[in-house]
Amino acid sequence: MKNILIVFGVVLLAWYGLSFFDMSSEKTTEEEFNNSGQAKAIEEELQEISLNGLNNYEKIKGRWTSVDDTKSVLDFNDKYKADFYNGVSMNEGPFILYNEYPITKETPEDGNGKYMLSVVGGEQFFYEIVKLDEHNLEMIYLNRGNTLKYSR
**Range 56-151 has CATH code 2.40.128.280:** yes
Using a 10 angstrom Cβ sphere, with 0-12 exposed, 13-18 middle and 19 or more buried, the burial of residue 127 is buried
Mean pLDDT of 107-112: 96
Give the bridge partners for 118, in sequence order.
95, 125
Q: Judge contact between 108 and 133, C-beta under 8 A.
A: no
Beta-strand ranges (E) seen in the chain are: 62-66, 72-77, 80-85, 88-98, 115-120, 123-132, 136-141, 146-151
Q: What is the pLDDT of residue 23?
A: 44
Q: Is the pLDDT of residue 123 over 90?
A: yes
Q: What is the pLDDT of residue 25?
A: 44
Q: Is the pLDDT of residue 124 over 80?
A: yes
User: Which residues of the chain form CATH 2.40.128.280?
Assistant: 56-151
pTM exceeds 0.85, yes or no: no
138 residue type, one letter: E
pLDDT-based confidence at 53, cuts 50/70/90?
Answer: confident
Q: Is the pLDDT of residue 101 over 90?
A: yes
Q: What is the pLDDT of residue 24?
A: 45
Mean pLDDT of 7-28: 48
Q: Tell me the range of 22-31, 33-42, 129-138 where mean pLDDT is highest.
A: 129-138
**Which range, of 42-51, 58-67, 114-123, averages the lowest pLDDT?**
42-51
